[in-house]
Amino acid sequence: MKTNKSFTKRLRVTKKGKILSRAPGQNHFNAKSSGSETQRKHRVGSIEMSNSLRSRFLP
């Protein structure tokens, strides 16, 4: 099965194998949101994946 490249570009894998991604919805329409909400969107969160999904989405 081929790797899903568009999804792979949004992820980052750490040395220990954790998968990190940005929170969705932070490209535009951020002027009316509060500062704490904007900071929360810019934090990086980890994703839990099963081995079958990991082999599909990561090279």
From the options 1.10.3470, 4.10.410, 3.30.70, 1.10.10, give the CATH code of 5-57: 4.10.410
Average pLDDT value over all residues in the chain? 84
What integer pLDDT is reported at residue 34 of this predicted model? 93
**Domain ranges in the chain?**
5-57
| Best CA proximity match to 1, nearest among 39, 58, 45, 42 | 58
Higher pLDDT, 43 or 1: 43
Helices (H), 1-59: 5-8, 35-42, 51-57
Give the Cα separation of 42 and 37 in Å (integer).
9
What integer pLDDT is reported at residue 48 of this predicted model? 85
- Per residue in 11-39, pLDDT tens? 888 898 888 988 777 888 888 989 998 88
Give residue 40's pLDDT band: very low, low, confident or very high (50, 70, 90): confident
